[in-house]
Amino acid sequence: MIGGIPLGDALLASGALFLVGLAGALLRRSAISIFLSIEVMMNAANLALIGYGSALGTREGQIVVFFVIAIAAAEASVGLAIFVALFRHKETIDVNKINLLKW
Amino acid sequence: MNPALPLWLVPALPLAGFLACGLLGKKLGKSFVTAAGVGSVGLATAVAYARLLPFFSGDHAPVVERIGPWITAGGFSADLAMRLDPLSALMTSFVTFVGFLIHVYSVGYMRHDETEAGYARYFAYLNLFMFSMLTLVLAQNFVLMFVGWEGVGLCSYLLIGHYYERQYAADAGKKAFVVNRIGDFGFLLGMFGLFSLFDSLDFDRVFGSAAADPAKYAPFLTVVCLCLFLGAVGKSAQVPLYVWLPDAMAGPTPVSALIHAATMVTAGVYMVARCNVLFRLAPEAMGVVAVIGAITAIFAGIIAVAQNDIKKVLAYSTVSQLGYMFLACGVGAYVAGMFHVLTHAFFKACLFLGSGSVIHAMGGEQDMRRMGGLKSKLPVTYWTFLIATLAIAGIPPLAGFFSKDAILAGVFEHERYVLWGIALFTAGLTAFYMFRLVSLTFEGSFRGTGEQEHHLHESPPSMTAPLVVLAVLSFTGGWIGLPRVFGEGADRFTAFLSPILLPLASAEEKAEHALSNGTEWLLMAVSVAAAVAGLLLARSWYVRRSGRPAEAIAASFPAAYALVAEKFRVDELYDALVVRPFDWLARMLWKVVDVLIIDGILNAGAFLVELAGDLLRFLQTGNVRNYALTLFLGLVGLLLLVIGFGT
């Protein structure tokens, strides 16, 4: 229960958010869009954590969320650095064109 | 006894010489190799005689010197132990002495023809051979004896193949090794049999138990003795395993003298004599020994008549004389057999070294048809060779006469008249082919090239000195075993060896078989007559009529002559019966079993894995989103699974 919102609703919102993120990650071609979609999926997970945390009356859910946010920030910097490096080499960040590692 | 000079020093010194020559010889040069190789054997001879002389004059009680435990496994144990008794003392006395002489001779024979490395290798192996042979004769149990037994076989292989850059020498070495292995296999089986019967391989315990309870062991001993004899057949070149010895002449001549005439090939006789207690309990095995010996004696003697290579004649003569020794052992005349081992070592070593001197002078030529008239050019070689030839022919009073007569008398005494007839005929044959050899080589006029004639020279003193010593021994060596007709006690040799070789023969048995003086004189006269007949025939054919009668006979029986000259085509027979089937089998195993089946299974497995990889790799598209989708589908699948199991 987050401020009166029932757990079921929170999980529904989380699931919807996750599916949105997933759709973005699978369908978009720009690496940055995919990256943003992954962030959305991660936040869907955060939402579920907070929902369960408050439903169980413990703080652990919220604590884990803070960790996730911190790590997501670090990951964002690394990911963006990779994209910059990739762009310098290939002059594109279209993932369909970055497919050297195949049979 | 001299406790300061333990018996193990006798084999250990040549071993040290082997290590010195083998490890340092190439670096330190020929002088060092000569000093280390000859010196170590000289020292070993000195040590051996320091022990042997008191033993000969003392009470001949066997001495066993245990160095320490060696193998202990379950109920089995074998010690490193050396044994000095009349039999091993006899063997050691001539192995060390003749070995030393041949080392000295080798210096002259090998020094100029060899590179530093070849010279060092030669002496290293020669020393290793001395070590193995002395281990063999001094061992106190079958296991240690087997070490020496295998060691001499190995050295024989290494030295036959000394000129390994020649194909036939390498092949001869290989042949010797393989044929010897067949015999060794029999020896091993015999040892296993002995261990299962007696729970020990110690000589004293095995022979003691067998003698204590003959009835218990006799039924099994026939098989065991036949196995042991198979080992002797291989090592001592008897029919049917004699084929390696004539080929062994591909090695340097001193090696032929030391290993393939005087010492190693008599190891089989020594072993049979050593096991005489067992063989006496297995009369069937003794019968086989006697018959094989007689067949070998006459068979090799016949082949020797038609050979033209000087060393081949001597090789077949060795095979024939070894047959004599086994014949003696087989009828129970072990003392006579060992006597012939001793005298044969002297005169055959002398003959081989003499032939080496001839070959040396002829610049490597071995074909007697291109020799002749060497008498005046090589006087020392000629006279020593002649003495040794008279000795092997059995002309009194040279050494060979007494030992051969002892064998003939022994065979006659045991009423094996057919074998006696064969042996007598072989004696005449021996005299014939040996005098054929002497006549072709030394008499008449020179038949080689002018260049060879110009090159002819007497050998250096390091080669002639051993010849002279051996010739003296060939002359006098038989006098230690004069037959009984020269008075009771004249046969010191029999008295010396009896405790070891005749422990089971009772006094009555000896008396029963003993021949009267008249018969003995008659036998002697017959054997001398046979020898003289052979001698005179050879001289009249080859000296006075320069070989024409022999050519006439060969021309009138071309098929028979070709058969004999080609050694009864036994090699060809073995080639067809054994070598080629084995070759075929090996090829089958290689091409079909190994390549097709074993490799095939392996390759099929590898091919399937490769095929699977080839097909599955198309899943690897390189597109990140495909992987993400797969991940998602996997997640969905897992969720469904969890839900499915949950309900």
Q: Most B CBs within 10 Å: which of A38, A86, A90, A102, as the mutation test of the B interface?
A: A102
Cβ-based burial of B606 (10 A; exposed 0-12, middle 13-18, buried ≥19): exposed
* Closest in B617, B621, B628 to A99, CB measured: B621
* Beta-carbon separation of B622 and A99 below 8 A: yes
Average confidence (pLDDT) over A17-30: 92
Mean pLDDT of chain A: 89
* Whether the predicted pLDDT of B515 surpasses 90: no
Confidence of residue B1 (pLDDT cuts 50, 70, 90): very low
State how far residue B619 is from chain A, nearest Cα, in angstroms: 8
| Per-residue pLDDT reduced to its tens digit, B588-611 | 999 999 999 999 999 999 999 999
Looking at the domain assignment, is residue A35 inside a domain? yes
* Beta-carbon separation of B622 and A102 below 8 A: yes
* Closest in A22, A34, A98 to B632, CB measured: A22
State how far residue A60 is from chain B, nearest Cα, in angstroms: 25
Closest CA in chain B for residue A99: B622
* Whether the predicted pLDDT of B477 surpasses 80: yes
Higher pLDDT, B454 or B436: B436
Closest CA in chain A for residue B614: A103
* Beta-carbon separation of B629 and A98 below 8 A: no
* Beta-carbon separation of A98 and B618 below 8 A: no
| Per-residue pLDDT reduced to its tens digit, B438-475 | 999 998 888 888 888 888 888 888 889 999 999 999 99
Closest CA in chain A for residue B629: A26
pLDDT at residue A73 in the model:
93
Confidence of residue B333 (pLDDT cuts 50, 70, 90): confident
Mean pLDDT of chain B: 89
Q: Which residues of B touch A26 (CB under 8 A)?
A: 625, 628-629, 632
Domain range for A41? 7-90
* Beta-carbon separation of A34 and B617 below 8 A: no
Domain CATH for A18? 1.10.287.3510
pLDDT at residue B4 in the model:
67
pLDDT at residue B591 in the model:
92
Higher pLDDT, A2 or B429: B429
pLDDT at residue B373 in the model:
84
Which two tokens mark B334?
């072990």
Interfacial residues of A (vs B; Cβ cutoff 8 Å): 22, 25-27, 34, 95-96, 98-103
Average confidence (pLDDT) over B253-263: 89
Looking at the domain assignment, is residue A2 inside a domain? no
| Residue type, position B530, single letter | A
The strand ranges marked E within B343-470 are: none
Phi/psi class of residue B567: alpha, beta or left (left: φ > 0; alpha: ψ in -120 to 50)?
left
pLDDT at residue B506 in the model:
47
pLDDT at residue A57 in the model:
87
pLDDT at residue B505 in the model:
56
pLDDT at residue B449 in the model:
83
Looking at the domain assignment, is residue A101 inside a domain? no
pLDDT at residue A98 in the model:
84
Cβ-based contacts under 8 A for chains A and B:
31
Per the structure, the count of domains in chain A is 1
* Beta-carbon separation of A22 and B624 below 8 A: no
State how far residue B599 is from chain A, nearest Cα, in angstroms: 29
Looking at the domain assignment, is residue A98 inside a domain? no
> Exposed e or buried b for every residue in B106-142, given b needs 16+ CB within 10 A?
bbbbbeeebeeebbbbbbbbbbbbbbbbbbbbbbbbb
| Per-residue pLDDT reduced to its tens digit, B27-40 | 888 899 999 999 99
Contact B126, B110 (CB under 8 A): no
Confidence of residue B508 (pLDDT cuts 50, 70, 90): very low
pLDDT at residue B510 in the model:
56
* Beta-carbon separation of B620 and A98 below 8 A: no
Worst-scoring range by mean pLDDT, B335-344, B365-374, B502-511, B559-568? B502-511
* Beta-carbon separation of A26 and B622 below 8 A: no
Q: Which residues of A touch B617 (CB under 8 A)?
A: 103
Sequence ranges of the domains in chain B: 334-565, 573-646
Residue with tokens 């008794």: B85
Q: Where are the alpha helices (DSSP H) in B161-306?
A: 167-198, 203-212, 214-235, 244-247, 253-257, 267-274, 276-280, 283-305
Instruction: In whole angstroms, give the CA distance from residue B359 to residue B378.
Output: 11
State how far residue B606 is from chain A, nearest Cα, in angstroms: 20
Q: What is the 3-state secondary structure (H, E, C) of B85-107?
A: CHHHHHHHHHHHHHHHHHHHHHH
* Beta-carbon separation of A26 and B628 below 8 A: yes
Count CB neighbours of B40 within 10 A. 25
| Per-residue pLDDT reduced to its tens digit, B224-245 | 999 999 999 999 999 889 999 9
Closest CA in chain A for residue B627: A26
Confidence of residue A2 (pLDDT cuts 50, 70, 90): low
* Beta-carbon separation of B618 and A25 below 8 A: no
Q: Quick one: which of B315, B346, B344 has its CA closest to B102?
A: B346
Q: What percent of chain B has pLDDT over 70?
A: 96
Confidence of residue A5 (pLDDT cuts 50, 70, 90): confident
Q: Quick one: which of B268, B320, B299 has its CA closest to B136?
A: B268
* Whether the predicted pLDDT of B132 surpasses 80: yes
pLDDT at residue B3 in the model:
57
Instruction: In whole angstroms, give the CA distance from residue B107 to residue A89.
Output: 80
Q: Which residues of A touch B628 (CB under 8 A)?
A: 25-26
ipTM of the complex: 0.83
Q: Which residues pair with B72 in a beta bridge?
A: B77
Average confidence (pLDDT) over A65-84: 93
